């Protein structure tokens, strides 16, 4: 890996549903790796039944930076009884259930991407630069559309291994933290997110990830990191 492609994504709301929530859906604060590969696949047009094969951890490297402070709201949504919709028109259905969805408000993230397949890498770079996509990208739910823009392509070096604190721009897998340093003015949280799925959408791996709620850099001693030529330091999920 000698270069990494970087682009920003944002929207009005996002919902990345935590899999253990049903009647009161909660959301992750940022898109898990599985959601990121789905977003990228939508932009470049890889079918939802195929993209998991193309974006395994061995093939695709992804890091994520939180840009806007994480704010969550709860909004009620009326769900119709679709079981009765097989015999009558949808607009005639009267049965409704109101569910309160937890949403991330005004989400904004930066994605760092590299792929072993140059064709996938170059296609994403071309599409983002020209602001075009095959399928409409969204944040977790099809109603929550998101926008995207090119940020840059940078030379990158790593993995770098030094036993001293570094300021990291991205979210950090907890298992690579060697020495935490929690600064008073920052707000730290962890979430356990899905990282990789099988073709049948069964999760193969989860990972506990540390993030700073306001999007500030995190000062830590980590096992390894990567450095971009713009001096950003990141860790891949």
Residue ranges per structural domain of the chain: 3-234
What is the structure's pLDDT at 84? 58
- pLDDT for res 91: 64
pLDDT at residue 90 in the model: 62
Task: Please list the pLDDT of the chain residue by residue as tens digits (237 residues).
Answer: 889 999 999 999 999 998 776 667 899 999 999 999 999 999 999 887 777 788 888 999 999 999 999 999 998 877 776 665 555 666 666 677 778 889 999 999 999 999 999 999 999 999 999 999 999 999 999 999 999 999 999 999 989 998 899 999 999 999 999 988 899 999 999 999 999 877 777 788 899 999 999 999 999 999 999 999 999 999 999
Class for the domain spanning 3-234: alpha beta
DSSP codes, the chain: --EEEEEEEEESEE--B-TT--SS--B-SS--HHHHHHHHHHHHT--TTTHHHHT-TTTEEEEEEE-SPPEEEEEEEEEE-GGGGGTS-GGG---EEEEEEEEEES-EEEEEEEESSHHHHHHHHHHHHTT--SS--BSSSTTSBEEEEEEEEEEEEEEE--SS-EEE-S-EEGGGEEE----TTS-EEEEEEEEEE-TT--EEEEEEEEEETT---EEEEES-EEEETTS-EE---
């Amino acid at each position: 890996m000698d270069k990494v492609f970087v682009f920003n994504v944002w929207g009005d709301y996002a919902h990345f549903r935590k899999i253990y929530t049903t009647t009161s859906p909660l959301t992750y604060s940022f898109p898990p790796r599985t959601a990121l590969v789905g977003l990228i696949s939508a932009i470049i047009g890889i079918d939802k039944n195929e993209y998991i094969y193309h974006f395994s951890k061995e093939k695709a490297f992804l890091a994520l930076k939180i840009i806007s402070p994480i704010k969550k709201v709860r909004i009620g949504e009326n769900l119709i009884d679709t079981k009765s919709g097989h015999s009558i028109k949808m607009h005639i259905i009267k049965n409704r259930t109101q569910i309160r969805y937890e949403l991330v408000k005004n989400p904004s993230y930066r994605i760092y991407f590299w792929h072993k397949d140059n064709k996938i890498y170059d296609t994403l770079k071309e599409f983002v630069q020209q602001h075009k996509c095959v399928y409409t990208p969204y944040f977790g739910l099809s109603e929550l559309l998101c926008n995207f823009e090119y940020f840059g392509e940078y030379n990158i070096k790593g993995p770098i291994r030094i036993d001293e604190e570094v300021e990291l721009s991205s979210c950090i897998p907890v298992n690579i933290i060697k020495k935490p340093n929690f600064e008073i003015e920052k707000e730290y949280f962890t979430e356990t997110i899905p990282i990789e799925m099988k073709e049948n959408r069964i999760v193969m791996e989860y990972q506990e990830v540390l993030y700073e709620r306001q999007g500030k850099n995190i000062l830590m001693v980590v096992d390894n990191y990567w450095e971009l030529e713009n001096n950003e330091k990141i860790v891949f999920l």
